Amino acid sequence: MKLKLDLHTHCGEATSLYTPNLDIVKRIVDTAKKRGLDGLGVTEHYNKTYGYKVRDLVERELDRELVIIPGQEIDKGPLHIVVLYLPGEITFRFIAHPGYPPVRDFEAYIDETIHGIEYRNPTHDDEMDLELIKSLADKHNLIMLANSDAHFLSDIGKYYNEIDIDELCARAR
Ligand SMILES: [Zn+2]
């Protein structure tokens, strides 16, 4: 089943609170639902605990109103990589905003651990070479993704994907 998913958000940074409480999680869920989303990747910088805590609160207190995929954003050389922890202990990784930071040959960093690449990101659209991204996605069999990279709750869902989580899982194997 295809879901509307924004797979790259910084809700902890957006709320300046790295231990999410129920009130904050309600605000995150409300914002995402107002935007028509089915789910979010919760991907703090170097912090996967935050995403798992948000997911636990949504499952325990909010009747699973929103699909929460825990993740984090890390560095791989000069690239920023978003890591998503999918059901079945599957790890899906995609390149965040290729072009920022500027890297001369970012293809050199694409190996079998990378499964996707952003082609839209509201903060970095101007730095991203769409033709190059498309050709690399074709060549390396990467899923192209559009995400908000939200650093404010109001930015959640600015861009999102209509995609089946099973498709992410299949690509990550
Ligand atoms: Zn980010």
Q: Which structural domains are found in the chain, ordered by start? A: 2-172 (3.20.20.140)
Q: What pLDDT does 55 receive?
A: 98
Share of the chain above pLDDT 70, in %: 100
Mean pLDDT on 67-88: 96
- As to burial, measured by CB atoms within 10 angstroms (0-12 exposed, 13-18 middle, 19+ buried), residue 20 is buried
Does residue 20 have a cis bond before it (omega within 30 degrees)? no
Q: How far apart are CA 126 and CA 130, in angstroms?
A: 10
Give the Å distance between the CA of 98 and the centre of ligand 1: 11
For ligand 1, a single-atom ion, which residues have Cβ within 5 Å?
Answer: 73, 149
Mean pLDDT on 142-151: 98
Mean pLDDT on 109-114: 94
Q: What pLDDT does 7 receive?
A: 98
**Alpha carbon distance, N-terminus to C-terminus of the chain:** 19
Q: What is the pLDDT of residues 115-135, one digit of tens each?
A: 999 999 999 999 999 999 999
Give the Å distance between the CA of 72 and the centre of ligand 1: 9
Q: What is the pLDDT of residues 78-97, one digit of tens each?
A: 999 999 999 999 999 999 99
Q: What pLDDT does 103 receive?
A: 87
> Which residues are 71's β-sheet partners?
43, 84
Give the Å distance between the CA of 109 and the centre of ligand 1: 18
- The pTM for the full model equals 0.96
